[in-house]
Every structure is written in structure tokens, then in C-alpha cells.
């Protein structure tokens, strides 16, 4: 198999080691591997937020018979191991380029659906009784250099003009008053939007809801090929064969070119890593001056994302390495720990209890894709490391398109243009190495 990264990143039998696995109740439903021949109307590949949301929407809102095939267990991918930041996001494109490429109205539509997506997650958890430890309100972007504080003030104007979002700039004193005192930041922009959640509890809540609604969900069923036969698709797994009228690919950063050549060369998976400390005592939190559960990220291109968890642990995340090997994982963990200690000197003695990593997904135009790839074949993916909220909207929007009740034009132009291939796709990791080096320089100087 020719995956982009070291095989260990795709090994569904290897332990993930996340804090979420250690703290989420089990799924409580059986998800046996597909065996023998089966058929359905719509087959979904991947049981992350995208696949499950699309499946649930198809069954409940459009009365469609759906089967989901997942290579690991439900939520094995990024959905069960992310930081739990349910906030604005999905693209990595700068505002200026986005405006130039798509026009201000389409950009406005794109931000409007991001805002809708956050509400969808909150509403889904409330309506379905999913206990996902939702905490905090809003998100703060912290300037890691004085110049970035100026850029944040520009962003504030931009957000207001685009979607009427009234953000506030907080200087370091105001941050400290809010229980957000860390070293090496120069104020921050507060976005009054978004919540933090337990990603795996949310995922398992979605999976339970999908199964209970009638979705057939098979774990341990990696799809090795999508064949076309007599006007239908046939999805091949190690022990089974599923035929379907339509197929949704929801494999995001775990899409492998040889298994799903329909997307070959169009995606750039990248690693993200997280450390979680032991619970901090109230005295330790006070010593640092960081007592708030609000979600934060810094302004680095190679950004860090961080927050205090409900049980007092601290989550600190950032990019992973390039190769994905176990040795690279150890380097990524060391790197994360150094940056954590730099910003939180009062917690240098606090042990890391969990470290894990996973794959996010980027595209060449730096925007997500939601829509039709070819007749009967659809995909929603590439949320640029920010899909907890966006998947709730994307899965549902794609379901409406697959069910034929909504055309592509109902989606913002930002997400519906066909994805170009990366030139010489086998060089993708080299491009990433170059980009990381350039971003590192910008982060240190800009």
C-alpha cells in the first residue's frame, strides 16, 4: 500500500493513546465487519463526523437506506482524537485571496455556514442528549508577536464587515483579569462564538444516534476499491462486497490514493499532535494565572491550540512532524512540551500524561470540498484541521445533494469547486517540508 506517511499512522490496531479514549464511555453498540454481499442505496466510507452526519441526515431527513463502512472503529480517525475546538474554521486561505478568488458575497456565505455549523453541533448535542462536556464560550486568538496584534485588529474589522461578528481585542492585563495569563503573548482577539467539547463523546453520540436511526455501521471494514458494475457501485472490503446506488467518501486525512484513486493527488494530509497534562490543582492554576476554560489558539502559521479541560488537565496541541515515524512522534512530543513550557513557565514541573497525533487534511486551494466528484460519487472533506463544527454542516449539506433535494449551487462557491491535483503529487511531503520551513521563519519574524 502506498500511503503518504509512515504505516503506523494508518494502523487501526495500534493504540491511539488519547485522553479522550481514557475518558469516554464505550459506544455501547455492535459494529461488526461487513461479511459477504450486501446492498444499500447510499454507501458512506468513513465513520467520522462527516460520514456519520451525512448518514444520519440521509436516513432521518431523506428516508434513504445507508450503510457506513469504517476501516477502524467509529471515530478512529481525526474525529475521535481532535482538540474539541468547535469554532469557526475549515479553510486556510487568507481573507484577501478568498475575496479576490470568490468575491465578497461568496465569502460571506462561507462564513455564514461556519457560524451555522457551530449552532448545528450545539443543537445536535442538546436535541439528542449527547453529553459531550460542552464548556466555555467563545475563542481567543493570542498574538505571539506584537505585529500579529495589529493583524488581529484588522481581522476584527473584517469579521464585523463580513458577518457582523463583534469581536473584542483584549490586552495582556484584560487577559489576565479573565484568567488567561501566559508568557510570550501580546494581547488577543476574542471571538464570541464556539464551544469546546469532548470529541469522542460527541462522535460516539452521533454513532449511537445513527445506528438507532437505522444506519448500518460496519467497523473493521476498510474499502480497498470502488468498482462500477451495472449502473451501481461495488465497494470491496476484506470479507465483503457492498453495492450501492451512490457513494459518499468521508475519509478526510486518512484517504489513501491507491484505495480511493478518485481523489488521488488532490489531498494533502498533515499531522497534528496533542499533549495533555495531569490535572492541575487550583493552586497551580492560580500560580500561572490561567484559570479559564476558554479555547485559545496563537497566531503562528504553525499554530498552537490549547485549553483547560473540565477536570483541570491542560491540553496543548500543535503540528506534528513530516515522516510520521515513531521517532518523529517523539520529536514532535518534545517540541510540543518545549513550547508549552515556554508559554506556561509555572507549569514546567507538571507531567504530560497523554500524547497522541492524527491526520488533518489540506487542499491546494486551501479550502474544503463538499459535492459531487463524478456521477453518483460524492465527497466532503479537507477542513484544514478545523472540522469539528464544519463537518456538521458539510455532512448535512452533502446529504441533501445526494438525496437530490438541493443542487450544488446551494453551497457557497468556496467549497464546491472541483479540487485540482497537486503538481507531481508524490512530492507532497516535500512541499509540506518547504511550507513548514517558510512558516517557521514567518512565525519567528513576522
Strand 305-308 to 85-86 pairing: unpaired
Q: Return the beta strands (E) in 303-351 as ranges.
A: 305-308, 314-319
Shortest distance (Å) from residue 125 CB to ligand FAD: 15
Q: How many residues bind ligand FAD (CB under 6 A)?
A: 46
Q: Is 173 helix (H, G, I), strand (E, B) or coil?
A: helix
Looking at 72-80, 324-332, 399-407, 424-432, which segment touches ligand FAD (CB under 6 A)?
A: 72-80
Distance of CA 63 to the CA centre of its chain: 28
Asked if 69 touches ligand FAD (CB under 6 A), the answer is yes
Looking at 181-189, 284-292, 354-362, 436-444, which segment touches ligand FAD (CB under 6 A)?
A: 354-362
Helices (H), 265-325: 282-288
Cα separation, 412 vs 307, in Å, equals: 31
Distance of CA 242 to the CA centre of its chain: 28
Asked if 71 touches ligand FAD (CB under 6 A), the answer is yes
Asked if 250 touches ligand FAD (CB under 6 A), the answer is yes
First to last CA, the chain: 41
Asked if 254 touches ligand FAD (CB under 6 A), the answer is yes
Looking at 20-28, 70-78, 116-124, 327-335, which segment touches ligand FAD (CB under 6 A)?
A: 70-78
Asked if 81 touches ligand FAD (CB under 6 A), the answer is yes
Asked if 371 touches ligand FAD (CB under 6 A), the answer is no
Asked if 31 touches ligand FAD (CB under 6 A), the answer is no
**47 vs 400 by CB, closer to ligand FAD:** 47
**45 vs 217 by CB, closer to ligand FAD:** 45
Cα separation, 123 vs 115, in Å, equals: 13
- Identify the residue among 5, 20, 76, 393 touching ligand FAD (CB under 6 A): 76
Asked if 220 touches ligand FAD (CB under 6 A), the answer is no
- Identify the residue among 45, 66, 191, 275 touching ligand FAD (CB under 6 A): 45
Q: Long-range contact list for 160-167, CB < 8 A, 24+ apart?
A: 162/104, 162/107, 162/108, 162/111, 163/108, 163/111, 163/112, 163/115, 165/115, 165/191, 165/192, 165/193, 166/192, 167/191, 167/192
Residue 257: all three cell numbers together = 490514493
- Identify the residue among 5, 19, 49, 185 touching ligand FAD (CB under 6 A): 49
- Identify the residue among 188, 219, 385, 412 touching ligand FAD (CB under 6 A): 385
Q: Is the dihedral of CA 69, 73, 79, 84 positive or negative?
A: positive
**58 vs 274 by CB, closer to ligand FAD:** 274
Residue 269: all three cell numbers together = 494530509
Q: In this structure, how many other beta carbons lie within 10 angstroms of the beta carbon of residue 351?
A: 7
Shortest distance (Å) from residue 157 CB to ligand FAD: 24
Which residues contact ligand FAD (rule: CB under 6 A)? Answer: 45-51, 69-72, 76-79, 81-85, 89, 222-223, 250-255, 259, 272, 274, 305, 317, 357-360, 381, 383, 385-389, 391
Amino acid at each position: 500500500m502506498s500511503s503518504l506517511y509512515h504505516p503506523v499512522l494508518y494502523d487501526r490496531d495500534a493504540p491511539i493513546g488519547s485522553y479522550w479514549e481514557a475518558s469516554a464511555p464505550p459506544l455501547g453498540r455492535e459494529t461488526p465487519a461487513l461479511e459477504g454481499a450486501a446492498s444499500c442505496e447510499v454507501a458512506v466510507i468513513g465513520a467520522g463526523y462527516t460520514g456519520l452526519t451525512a448518514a444520519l441526515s440521509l436516513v432521518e431527513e431523506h428516508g434513504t437506506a445507508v450503510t457506513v463502512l469504517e476501516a477502524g472503529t467509529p471515530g478512529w480517525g481525526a474525529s475521535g482524537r481532535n482538540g474539541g475546538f468547535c469554532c469557526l474554521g475549515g479553510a486556510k486561505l487568507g481573507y484577501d485571496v478568498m475575496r479576490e478568488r470568490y468575491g465578497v458575497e461568496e465569502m460571506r456565505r462561507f462564513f455564514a455556514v461556519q457560524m451555522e455549523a457551530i449552532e448545528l453541533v450545539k443543537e445536535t448535542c442538546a436535541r439528542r442528549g449527547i453529553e459531550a462536556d460542552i464548556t466555555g464560550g467563545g475563542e481567543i486568538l493570542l498574538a505571539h508577536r506584537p505585529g500579529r496584534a495589529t493583524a488581529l485588529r484588522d481581522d476584527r474589522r473584517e469579521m464585523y464587515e463580513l458577518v457582523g461578528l463583534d469581536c473584542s481585542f483584549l490586552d495582556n492585563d484584560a487577559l489576565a483579569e479573565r484568567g488567561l495569563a501566559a508568557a510570550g503573548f501580546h494581547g488577543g482577539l476574542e471571538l464570541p462564538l464556539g464551544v469546546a467539547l469532548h470529541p469522542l463523546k460527541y462522535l460516539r453520540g452521533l454513532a449511537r444516534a445513527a445506528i438507532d436511526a437505522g444506519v448500518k455501521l460496519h467497523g473493521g471494514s476498510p474499502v480497498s476499491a470502488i468498482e462500477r458494475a451495472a449502473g451501481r457501485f461495488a465497494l470491496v472490503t476484506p470479507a465483503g462486497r457492498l453495492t450501492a446506488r451512490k457513494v459518499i467518501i468521508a475519509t478526510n486525512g486518512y484517504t489513501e490514493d491507491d484505495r480511493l484513486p478518485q481523489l488521488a493527488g488532490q489531498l494533502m494530509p498533515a499531522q497534528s499532535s496533542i499533549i495533555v497534562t495531569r490535572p492541575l490543582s487550583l493552586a497551580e492554576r492560580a500560580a500561572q494565572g490561567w484559570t479559564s476554560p476558554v479555547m485559545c489558539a496563537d497566531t503562528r502559521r504553525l499554530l498552537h491550540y490549547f485549553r483547560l479541560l473540565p477536570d483541570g488537565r491542560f491540553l496543548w496541541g500543535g503540528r506534528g512532524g513530516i515522516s510520521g515515524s515513531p521517532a518523529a512522534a517523539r520529536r514532535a512530543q518534545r517540541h510540543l512540551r518545549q513550547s508549552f513550557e515556554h508559554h506556561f513557565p509555572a507549569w514546567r514541573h507538571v507531567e504530560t500524561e497523554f500524547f497522541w497525533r492524527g491526520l488533518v487534511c489540506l487542499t491546494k486551494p486551501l479550502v474544503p470540498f463538499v459535492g459531487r466528484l463524478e456521477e453518483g460519487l460524492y465527497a466532503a472533506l479537507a477542513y484544514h484541521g478545523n472540522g469539528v463544527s464544519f463537518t456538521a454542516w458539510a455532512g448535512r449539506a452533502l446529504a441533501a445533494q445526494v438525496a437530490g433535494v438541493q443542487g450544488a449551487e446551494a453551497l457557497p462557491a468556496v467549497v464546491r469547486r472541483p479540487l485540482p491535483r497537486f503538481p507531481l503529487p508524490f512530492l507532497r511531503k516535500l512541499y509540506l517540508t518547504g511550507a513548514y520551513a517558510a512558516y517557521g521563519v514567518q512565525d519567528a519574524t513576522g
